[in-house]
Amino acid sequence: DGAVPIPAASGNGVDDLQQMIQAVVDNVCWQMSLDRKTTALKQLQGHMWRAAFTAGRMKAEFFADVVPAVRKWREAGMKVYIYSSGSVEAQKLLFGHSTEGDILELVDGHFDTKIGRKVESESYRKIADSIGCSTNNILFLTDVTREASAAEEADVHVAVVVRPGNAGLTDDEKTYYSLITSFSELYLPSST
């Protein structure tokens, strides 16, 4: 509902091109306003980010607790993977151009919606297969309870991260899920 169609060429040259460009821009803005997670939109965002990051106009910011916690987990022998609705390219740009510098070495792999939607349990099984790990040996951190529910269906451990700006949780969600406000609250066993 509200989608902006892209018109077909009618043979009017420059006018056609301008109408098509405006329709594409309007369609992209419409998708972004609805926080659509389509692979094509996320890939377009990744291309735009690449231009901004490589030109030095943007740097990714992380909450202060994230990088120290991830470094500690890595030192303990744990693997860290990113699963995001943002494209793999966008993820690599974020971690490669952050206010902490290039921290790509902290991430063992990246997954996006090409593996499946984050609200589908099969996506988490595919990730586990891809990294050669049992789903019950994975901890998934998210701020979206629909994703948490899908991960749990796949026998993945879950913690819901509560941060400023995240969507609010219902009372039932607050009591059902393990909640954290900082990565430093996680005490994980070292891997063997």
Query: In the prediction, which pLDDT does 17 show?
Result: 87
Grouped pLDDT means (10 residues each) for the chain, 192 residues? 80 83 90 85 84 92 96 95 91 94 97 95 98 97 97 98 94 97 85 50
Beta bridge partners of 140: 158
Query: In the prediction, which pLDDT does 14 show?
Result: 79
Query: In the prediction, which pLDDT does 122 show?
Result: 98
What is the second-level CATH architecture of the domain 65-185?
3-Layer(aba) Sandwich (3.40)
Domain positions in the chain: 13-55, 65-185
Query: In the prediction, which pLDDT does 139 show?
Result: 97
Q: What is the DSSP string of 137-166?
A: G-EEEES-HHHHHHHHHTT-EEEEE--TTS
Q: Helix (H, G, I), strand (E, B), or coil: what is residue 48? A: helix
DSSP type of residue 168: P
144-171 exposure pattern, b = at least 16 Cβ within 10 A, e = fewer: ebebbbbbbebebebbbbeeeeeeebee
Query: In the prediction, which pLDDT does 3 show?
Result: 81
Q: Helix (H, G, I), strand (E, B), or coil: what is residue 111? A: strand
Q: Could you tell me the end-to-end alpha-carbon distance of the chain, in angstroms, rounded to an integer?
A: 50
Query: In the prediction, which pLDDT does 181 show?
Result: 97
Query: In the prediction, which pLDDT does 191 show?
Result: 53
Question: Structure pTM?
Answer: 0.78
Query: In the prediction, which pLDDT does 119 show?
Result: 97
